[in-house]
């Protein structure tokens, strides 16, 4: 397989899966829509949904570091975890296809949605196209136990197995977003932005932790980064994020500050549970699609964008301020939610 391993962020080996920086794109139409509501703020989209493999998304940045380690170790088979509609699983499948690795996805029923499209379409369907082995667990079945017996079986067949934890959210994976923090800073400076906030979805926390570590490593204040929790409540999400940020800083050899680490997490958009539909998510998805022609996803970025809209409407930012929203991908998830969302889209007015 043709790939290049280079020394990337902080000298750590990385397989290039991106081919260069993703665009930082001004959302001028959305700005105009919001101006009619009296909101006068510069809004920029960091397009991490635009990447050249597997449909793109935040997981590719993390996988660049995981895969370099796997290839350097001579491993040929990958096991990873996720929910039935995991974007991380789909992107791991795509990257394994690209790198010639055997891929096993252990998929759990994390969301109580039984519609046909949720249980068969979206990411799950794409995993098959990428040639991955999807192992669908029954509700309550233990993913770690299943992984252990699968690993034993594969090793008995002579395979060299690597296990990537859920969401790729380890300090090694988080390096991908520390690198992205430096990329955002360069782009924002080149565009002359006055960045007051960077907003993103937080699920398994690796993305926010990486961004925080990368921001801190540049000597900047972590205060401007806001994660919208979509999986667990604010306390749990902030604690996980803090721990992972500190271990990422350790990994890159940054001394810990004596000051407590500020981790901004908002769980107002979580709704009834992970993966369940909220009205504000539906409005956010429709608003960005109908103003900019850009798609959010229903589980992560849709809820996070709803959170940013809530802040903008509350008047937290004003004229002269710029905010950046991290587009983390996940668009295949829209197909899994078609029957749940269809009716709502036809009835949601956004103008």
Ligand X SMILES: Cc1ncc(COP(=O)(O)O)c(C=O)c1O
Q: Decide if residue 329 touches ligand X (CB under 6 A).
A: yes
Q: Decide if residue 204 touches ligand X (CB under 6 A).
A: yes
Query: Is the CB of residue 194 less than 8 Å from the CB of residue 322?
Result: yes
- Name residues contacting ligand X, limited to 79-118 (CB under 6 A): 87-88
Signed CA dihedral, 105, 111, 112, 115: sign only: negative
Which residues sit opposite 327 in a β-bridge? 47
Is 199 noted as a catalytic residue in this protein?
no
Min dist. Cβ of residue 83 to ligand X (A) = 9
- Name residues contacting ligand X, limited to 119-178 (CB under 6 A): 167, 169
Task: Classify residue 292 by its DSSP letter.
Answer: H
* Binding segment toward ligand X, per CB under 6 A, in 23-31, 197-205, 216-224, 259-267: 197-205
Cβ proximity to ligand X: between 76 and 202 the closer is 202
Min dist. Cβ of residue 204 to ligand X (A) = 3
State the burial class of residue 73 (Cβ atoms within 10 Å of its Cβ: 0-12, 13-18, 19+): exposed
Min dist. Cβ of residue 169 to ligand X (A) = 5
* 232 contacts: CB under 8 Å, gap ≥ 6: 240, 274
Tokens describing residue 229: 């929790």
Judging by DSSP bridges, how do beta strands 42-47 and 24-26 pair with one another? antiparallel
Query: Residue 268's Cα: distance from chain center in Å?
Result: 18
Min dist. Cβ of residue 69 to ligand X (A) = 18
The owner of tokens 């972590």 is 222
Among 76, 117, 179, 297, binds ligand X (CB under 6 A): 297
* Binding segment toward ligand X, per CB under 6 A, in 12-20, 181-189, 201-209, 259-267: 201-209
Q: Decide if residue 54 touches ligand X (CB under 6 A).
A: no
* Binding segment toward ligand X, per CB under 6 A, in 16-24, 157-165, 199-207, 218-226: 199-207
Nearest to 193 by CA among 222, 168, 224, 162: 224
> What residues make contact with ligand X under the rule CB under 6 A?
57-58, 87-88, 167, 169, 201-207, 297, 300-301, 328-330
């Amino acid at each position: 397989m043709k790939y290049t391993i280079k020394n990337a962020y902080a000298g750590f080996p990385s397989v290039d899966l991106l081919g260069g920086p993703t665009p930082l794109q001004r959302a001028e139409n959305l700005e105009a829509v919001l101006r009619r509501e009296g909101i006068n703020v510069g809004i920029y989209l960091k397009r991490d949904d635009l990447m050249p493999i597997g449909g793109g998304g935040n997981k590719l940045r993390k996988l660049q570091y995981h895969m370099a380690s796997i290839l350097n170790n001579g491993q040929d088979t990958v096991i990873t975890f996720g929910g039935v509609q995991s974007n991380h699983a789909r992107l791991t499948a795509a990257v394994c296809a690209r790198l010639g690795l055997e891929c096993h996805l252990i998929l759990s029923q994390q969301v109580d949605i039984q519609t046909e499209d949720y249980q068969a379409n979206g990411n799950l369907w794409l995993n098959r196209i990428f040639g991955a082995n999807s192992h669908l667990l029954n509700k309550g079945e233990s993913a770690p136990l299943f992984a252990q017996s699968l690993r034993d079986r594969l090793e008995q067949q002579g395979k060299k197995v690597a296990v990537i934890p859920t969401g790729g959210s380890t300090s090694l994976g988080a390096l991908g977003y520390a690198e992205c923090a430096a990329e955002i800073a360069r782009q924002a400076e080149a565009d002359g932005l006055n960045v007051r906030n960077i907003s993103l979805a937080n699920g398994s926390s690796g993305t926010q932790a990486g961004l925080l570590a990368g921001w801190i490593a540049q000597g900047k204040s972590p205060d401007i980064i806001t994660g919208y929790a979509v999986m667990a409540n604010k306390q749990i999400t902030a604690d996980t994020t803090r721990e992972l940020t500190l271990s990422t800083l350790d990994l890159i050899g940054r001394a810990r500050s004596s000051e407590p680490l500020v981790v901004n997490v908002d769980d107002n958009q979580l709704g009834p549970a992970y993966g369940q539909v909220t009205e504000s998510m539906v409005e956010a998805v429709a608003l960005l699609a109908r103003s900019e022609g850009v798609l959010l996803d229903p589980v992560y970025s849709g809820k996070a964008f709803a959170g940013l809209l809530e802040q903008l409407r509350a008047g937290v930012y004003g004229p002269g301020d710029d905010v950046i929203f991290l587009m983390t991908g996940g668009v295949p998830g829209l197909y899994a939610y078609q029957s749940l969302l269809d009716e709502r889209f036809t009835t949601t007015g956004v103008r």
